[in-house]
């Protein structure tokens, strides 16, 4: 995937929710960009399970974590602090991470996340 304005980045994009073969893509991963649907309170628990499972993988121990709290343009979107709590990010030790409020629809927050 090409990211305009970020020529130093090479990204492999995949949807991991429920996909049993995602582990074969972990080698040489420097960062995880994890997108959360901020308006989907019903599935945030499943999202947490997938994230925790991924972060336990040996090949990802040193990868930084960028959480994109997407759909922040919706009134029902969870706040950053709600997502932080729901994903259990307080439990992360020795992991560099940051949450960014984003709206893919409006293009908000994506530049800040990629520059971080």
Domain 22-115 coded CATH 1.20.120.1810: no
C-alpha to C-alpha distance for 80 and 87, rounded to whole angstroms: 11
**Tokens 């974590």 map to which residue?**
65
Known binding residue 98? Answer is no
Known binding residue 73? Answer is yes
For residue range 53-102, list pLDDT tens digits in order.
889 989 999 999 999 999 999 999 999 999 999 999 999 988 999 999 99
Known binding residue 71? Answer is yes
Domain ranges of the chain: 22-115
Predicted TM-score of the model (pTM): 0.83
Known binding residue 10? Answer is no
For residue range 29-64, list pLDDT tens digits in order.
889 999 999 999 999 999 999 899 889 989 999 999
Residues linked to residue 66 through DSSP beta bridges, in sequence order: 33, 98
């Amino acid at each position: 995937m090409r990211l305009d304005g970020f020529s130093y980045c090479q990204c492999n994009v995949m949807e991991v929710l429920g996909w049993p073969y995602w582990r074969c893509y972990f080698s040489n991963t420097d960062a995880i960009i994890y997108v959360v649907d901020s308006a989907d309170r019903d599935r945030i628990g499943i999202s947490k399970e997938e994230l925790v499972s991924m972060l336990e993988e040996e090949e990802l121990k040193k990868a930084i974590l960028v959480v994109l709290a997407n759909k922040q343009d919706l009134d029902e979107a969870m706040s950053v602090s709600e997502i932080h709590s729901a994903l259990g990010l307080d439990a992360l030790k020795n992991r560099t991470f940051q949450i960014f409020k984003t709206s893919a629809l409006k293009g908000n927050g994506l530049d800040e996340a990629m520059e971080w």
